[in-house]
Structure 1
Amino acid sequence: MHVWNNEVKEALVPLRNSENAAFMKAYMRDQYAFFGIQAGPRREALKPLFSKGKMPSLGELSGVIDELWTLPEREYQLVAIDLLIKQKKVLPSSFFGHAERWITTKAWWDTVDMLATHIVASLFQRFPIEAASFIQKWRESDNIWLRRTAILYQLKFKQNTDEALLFDIIGENLDDKEFFIQKAIGWSLREYSKTKPAAVVQFIESQKIDGLAKREGLKWLKAKGKL
Structure 2
Amino acid sequence: MTLAQHVRQALKEIADPDKAPVMRSYMKSSMPFLGVQAGPRRTALRRVFAAHPIDGAPEWRRAVLEVWREAEYREERYAAIELSGYHRYREHQTLYTIPMYEEMVVTGAWWDLVDEIATHRVGGLLAAFPDTMRALMLDWARDGDLWKRRTAILSQNRFKKATDTALLYACIEPSLSDNDFFARKAIGWALREYAKVNPAEVVRYVQAKGISGLSRREALRNVTGSTTPPAQP
TM-score by length of 2: 0.90
Question: Partner of 1:125 in structure 2?
Answer: 127
Contact kept, 8 Å, 2:138 with 2:170, in 1: the verdict is no
Distance in 2 of aligned mates of 1:33 and 1:226: 46
Task: Map 1:112-191 onto structure 2 (within 5 A).
Answer: 112-191=114-193
Q: How many Å separate the matches in 1 of 2:127 and 2:29? A: 35
CA contact (8 A) 2:185 2:218 kept: yes
Deviation digits for residues 111-163 of structure 1, max 9, x if unmatched?
A: 11011101101111112232133212211111000000010000000111010
- Which residue number in structure 2 is paired with residue 211 of structure 1? 213
Check 1:132–1:41 CA distance in 2 against 1; reply closer, same or farther (3 A cut). same
Question: Kindly, what percent of the aligned residue pairs are identical?
Answer: 37
How many angstroms apart in 2 are the aligned matches of 1:169 and 1:59?
A: 30
Q: Is the 8 A contact 1:88 1:118 kept in 2?
A: no
Kindly report structure 1 stretches of 4+ aligned residues shifted beyond 2 Å: 53-59, 87-90, 224-227
Question: 2:107 is matched with which residue?
Answer: 105
Specify whether residues 226 and 32 from structure 1 end up closer, same or farther in structure 2 by C-alpha distance, changes over 3 A only. farther
For structure 2, the 5+ residue unaligned runs are 229-233
Matched residue SS, 1:56: coil
For the 8 Å contact 2:138–2:171, the answer to whether it is kept is: no
Query: Contact (CA 8 Å) 1:151, 1:185: kept in 2 or not?
Result: yes
List aligned pairs for 1:72-111, cutoff 5 A.
72-86=72-86, 87-111=89-113
How far apart are 1:89 and its partner, in Å?
4.7
CA distance in 1 between partners of 2:102 and 2:29 (Å): 23
Q: Which amino acid counterpart does residue 18 of structure 1 have in structure 2?
A: P
Amino acid at match of 1:56: I
Aligned equivalents of 2:91, 2:181: Cα separation in 1: 32
- In structure 1, how many angstroms separate the alpha carbons of the residues matched to 2:221 and 2:226? 10
Which of 220, 223, 226 aligns to 1:221? It is 223
- Relative to structure 1, the CA distance from residue 30 to residue 126 in structure 2 (aligned partners, 3 Å threshold; closer, same or farther) is closer
Partner in structure 2 of residue 46 of structure 1: 45
Q: CA RMSD in A?
A: 1.8
Kept after mapping to 2: 8 A contact 1:81/1:115: yes
The answer for unaligned runs of 5 or more in structure 1 is none
Residue of structure 2 aligned with 1:56, choices 30, 54, 57 = 54
Determine the structure 2 residue equivalent to 1:11: 10
User: How far has the Cα of 1:79 moved from its partner?
Assistant: 0.8
Does residue 30 in structure 1 map to residue 32 in structure 2? no
Deviation at 1:61, TM superposition (A): 1.4
**Distance change (3 Å), C-alpha of 1:27 and 1:89:** farther
* Alpha-carbon distance, 1:225 to partner: 9.2
Q: What CA deviation, in whole Å up to 9, does each residue of 1:188-226 have, x standing for no partner?
A: 01100001110000000111110000001111224x997
Report the residue type matching 1:107 in the other structure: A
What code does the residue aligned with 1:102 have?
Answer: M
Which amino acid in structure 1 is aligned with residue 123 of structure 2?
A
